[in-house]
Amino acid sequence: MSRKLGVPCECGAAWPGTRICHCIGCHRTFTGERPFDAHRLGNHGVDRRCATEAEMSIKGLRERAGRWYRPVGAKRTITEESTNECLAAA
Ligand SMILES: [Zn+2]
Ligand SMILES: [Zn+2]
């Protein structure tokens, strides 16, 4: 299940700009694909899921004004997959 950019999610969220990622799994909004990718845990097709807020905090993600982002200079201790599942994850 995927949604086109700019089409509001069923949860009512809308987001401007093409770089904003909104997860249709947990309905959080991210400032880009990298923080979005960082909140997805587990393996594809196995136990892929969204991180809890505590887990996102551990990964260095921060939330402001309803947007999750990673502050510049945050440690990257977690291996990030460069998947392109933004807006297609569920
Ligand atoms: Zn999510
Ligand atoms: Zn949503």
pLDDT digits (tens, 9 = 90+) for 7-62: 678 998 887 777 889 999 999 999 999 999 999 999 989 999 999 999 999 999 99
Ligand 1 centroid, distance to 23 Cα (angstroms): 5
Is the model's pLDDT at 1 over the cut of 50? no
Query: Does residue 87 sit within a domain?
Result: yes
Query: Does residue 76 sit within a domain?
Result: yes
Structure tokens at 90: 């569920």
Contacts of 85 (CB under 8 A, 6+ apart): 37, 40
State the ligand closest to the CA atom of 14: 2
Long-range residue pairs from 56-63, CB within 8 A, at least 24 positions apart, any chain: 61/35
Contacts of 7 (CB under 8 A, 6+ apart): none
Query: Does residue 10 sit within a domain?
Result: no
Residue 68 contacts residue 26 (beta carbons within 8 Å): no
Instruction: Look at the chain and report how many structural domains it folds into.
Output: 1
Ligand 1 centroid, distance to 64 Cα (angstroms): 16
Mean pLDDT over residues 69-86, rounded? 60
Ligand 2 centroid, distance to 22 Cα (angstroms): 6
State the ligand closest to the CA atom of 50: 1
Contacts of 4 (CB under 8 A, 6+ apart): 87
Q: What confidence tier does 84 reach under pLDDT thresholds 50, 70, 90?
A: very low
Domain that holds residue 75: 15-90
Query: Does residue 64 sit within a domain?
Result: yes
Query: Does residue 9 sit within a domain?
Result: no
